[in-house]
């Protein structure tokens, strides 16, 4: 019997691990897959709704570590996760994405000699001011199996001297979730609930520290979002970090009526909003991929992206942080200057199946 433990902590992790969990259920009980939730994102809207909507079991382990500084959070996850590993002794851990939980769990497993599989390995923004970039570099250096979503990931890992045998191009588990939930996504009633119409609104999300931590920039961003309402409604589900910064800087009353400020939205409703938007403006990582899959125009307000395939062949426009350029780009897209875009290779809904198969073969060989 093989025992595998996946470690999740934040919203995008839950979406990525759901298809992996389901793929292991097809091994007729020969592989036991357990889930450890570190508690990084913990409330109803950032955590529970994703377990419910994506039909995942309650986590087997819950570490209850949230908030604090990066070092403090990483350290507390390491201390708590070590206890779980010593008790459970899994054959392998799986870590998705690039959050602090990903890196913390990898360090602990690596020191206990437990193999690590990194789902969404090899992505690089080459911007070490992003905490996620540090998490990616450390996790990839320690991982035994590196599962890749796009060609750039293979190139980066080769360049970093990672053994070719560890690298597996499998596709994108976030897109697996999207494909398998499309029928339910289509049934969402969120447009009616919000009183808005298909293709008549811009969907916005912002949560990266580089965009939301500086109050001066944040104020300029609000002015820009207010201007967007000239094109229709602006729908803005606000991440808790961003909301805190709005509140601390007394910025909430700077929004005009054209911007619908919402709490974070559940997966099915959010993807319904994404699929039917005239345009998405974001600094999210995963949303750049989902819009590319759905063929929806996306403006990324960042100077770099670790997901270049979404720009090279997808519908993502990497505009940078200069808000004048963002404004011009929105205007040009709304005038019809859109990118056609294609779906990247292997974003076909079967990434998790491939991951389960590689892991199963790897662990069989290890045990021989
Ligand atoms: N998402 C969601 N509700 C929201 C905002 C985002 O379900 O209100 C989903 C989105 O579809 C994507 C994931 O959350 O699957 C992206 O998470 P986030 O932007 O927080 O993280 P990142 O991808 O930037 O690491």
Task: From the CA of 286, give the closest atom in ligand 1.
Answer: 23
239 CA from centroid of ligand 1 (Å): 9
Residues of the chain with pLDDT under 70: none
Examine the domain organization and report whether 30 and 84 are in the same domain: yes
Task: Number of helices (H) and strands (E) in the chain: give both, helices first.
Answer: 16, 13
On whether both 153 and 280 belong to a single domain, the answer is no
Q: What is the pLDDT of residue 366?
A: 81
Q: Which residue out of 156, 207, 233, 317 is catalytically annotated?
A: 207
Please give the tally of structural domains in the chain: 2
Whether residue 76 is found in the same domain as residue 219: no
In order, the DSSP letters of 239-268 are PHHHHHHHHHTT-GGG--TTEEEE----HH
Within-domain flag for 177? no
How many other β-carbons are positioned within 10 Å of the β-carbon of residue 27? 15
Q: Which atom of ligand 1 is nearest to the CA of 50?
A: 7
CA-based nearest residue to 124, from 116, 132, 112: 132
Are 21 and 164 in a shared domain? yes
Q: Are residues 352 and 319 in the same domain?
A: no
Q: pLDDT tens digits for 124-156?
A: 999 999 999 999 999 999 999 999 999 999 999
Q: Are residues 291 and 241 in the same domain?
A: yes
Closest atom of ligand 1 to 97 CA is 25
Q: Running DSSP on this structure, what letter comes out for residue 144?
A: S
Ligand 1 pocket residues where CB is under 6 Å? 11-12, 15, 174, 205, 207, 237, 264-265, 267, 270-271, 284-287, 290
Q: Which two tokens stand for residue 77?
A: 């996850």
What is the 11 CA–ligand 1 centroid distance (Å)? 6
Residue 240 to residues 219, 244, 263, 268, Cα–Cα distance (Å): 17, 6, 8, 19
Q: What is the domain extent for residue 324?
A: 183-334
Q: How far apart are CA 137 and CA 103, in angstroms?
A: 9
In this structure, the answer to whether residues 115 and 60 fall within a common structural domain is: yes
* CATH number, residue 312: 3.40.50.2000
Residue with CA closest to ligand 1 atom 24: 284
161 with 257, same domain: the answer is no
Asked whether residue 342 is domain-assigned, the answer is no
Q: What is the pTM of this model?
A: 0.97
Question: Is residue 65 one of the residues assigned to a domain?
Answer: yes
Is 156 catalytic? The answer is: no
Distance 367 CA to ligand 1 centre (A): 38
Residue 341 placed within a domain: no
Alpha carbon nearest to ligand 1 atom 25, residue? 285
3-state secondary structure of 61: strand
64 and 189: one domain? no
Q: How far is CA 269 from the centre of its chain?
A: 16
Q: How far apart are the first and last CA of the chain?
A: 13
* C-alpha 340 – ligand 1 centre gap (Å): 23
What is the distance between the alpha carbons of residues 115 and 87, in angstroms, rounded to a whole number?
16
Q: Does a structural domain hold residue 208?
A: yes
Quick one: pLDDT at residue 138? 98
In this prediction, residue 365 carries a pLDDT of 85
Q: How far is the CA of 160 from the centre of ligand 1 (A)?
A: 29
Pocket test for ligand 1, best of 270, 283, 290, 301 (most atoms within 8 A of CB): 270
Is 155 inside any structural domain? yes
pLDDT score of 295: 98
**Domain-located, residue 176:** no
Mutation test of ligand 1: which of 286, 300, 310, 347 has the most ligand atoms closer than 8 Å to its C-beta?
286
Q: Are residues 23 and 96 in the same domain?
A: yes
Does residue 166 contact residue 183 with C-beta atoms inside 8 Å? no
Instruction: Centre a 10 Å sphere on the Cβ of residue 324 and count the other Cβ atoms it contains.
Output: 9
pLDDT computed for residue 29 by the predictor = 87
Whether residues 122 and 205 share a domain: the answer is no
Question: Residue whose CA is closest, atom 10 of ligand 1?
Answer: 287
- Ligand 1: atom nearest CA of 282 is 19
- Pairing mode, if any, of strands 279-282 and 201-205? parallel
Whether residues 58 and 165 fall in one domain:
yes
Question: b/e map of 350-366 (b: 16 or more CB within 10 Å)?
Answer: bbbbbbbbebbebbeee
In a domain, 273, yes or no: yes
Long-range contacts of 287-294 (CB under 8 A, 24+ apart): 287/205, 288/314, 288/316, 289/149, 289/172, 289/174, 289/175, 289/314, 289/347, 290/174, 290/175, 290/178, 291/315, 291/316, 292/316, 292/341, 292/343, 292/344, 293/175, 293/178, 293/343, 293/347, 294/178
């Amino acid at each position: 019997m093989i025992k595998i433990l996946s470690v999740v902590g934040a919203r995008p992790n839950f979406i990525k691990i759901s298809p992996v969990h389901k793929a292991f259920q097809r091994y007729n009980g020969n592989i036991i897959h357990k889930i450890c939730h570190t508690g990084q994102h913990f409330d109803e809207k950032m955590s529970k709704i994703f377990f419910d909507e994506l039909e995942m079991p309650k986590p087997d382990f819950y570490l209850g570590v949230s908030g604090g500084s990066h070092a403090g959070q990483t350290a507390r996850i390491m201390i708590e996760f070590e206890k779980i590993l010593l008790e459970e002794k899994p054959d392998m851990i799986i870590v998705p994405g690039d959050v602090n939980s990903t890196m913390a769990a990898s360090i602990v497993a690596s020191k206990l000699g437990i193999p690590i599989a990194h789902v969404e390995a090899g992505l690089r923004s080459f911007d070490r001011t992003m905490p996620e970039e540090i998490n990616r570099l450390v996790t990839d250096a320690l991982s035994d199996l590196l599962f890749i979503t796009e060609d750039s990931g293979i190139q980066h890992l080769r360049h970093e001297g990672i053994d070719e045998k560890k690298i597996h191009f499998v596709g994108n588990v976030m897109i697996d979730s999207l494909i398998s939930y499309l029928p339910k996504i289509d049934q969402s009633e969120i447009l009616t609930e919000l009183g808005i119409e298909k293709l008549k609104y811009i969907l916005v999300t912002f949560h990266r520290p580089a965009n939301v931590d500086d109050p001066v920039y944040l104020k300029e961003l609000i002015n820009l979002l207010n201007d967007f309402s000239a094109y229709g409604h602006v729908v803005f589900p606000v991440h808790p970090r961003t909301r805190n910064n709005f509140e601390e800087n007394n910025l909430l009353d700077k929004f005009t009526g054209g911007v619908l400020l919402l709490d974070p939205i559940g997966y099915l409703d959010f993807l319904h909003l994404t699929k039917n938007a005239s345009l998405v403006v974001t600094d999210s990582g995963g949303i750049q991929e989902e819009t590319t899959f759905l063929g929806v125009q996306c403006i990324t307000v960042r100077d770099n992206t670790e997901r270049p395939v979404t720009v090279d062949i997808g519908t993502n426009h990497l505009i940078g942080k200069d808000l004048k350029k963002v404004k011009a780009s929105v205007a040009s897209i709304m005038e019809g200057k859109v990118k056609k875009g294609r779906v990247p290779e292997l974003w076909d809904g079967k990434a998790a199946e491939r991951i389960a198969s590689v892991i199963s073969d790897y662990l069989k060989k290890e045990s021989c």
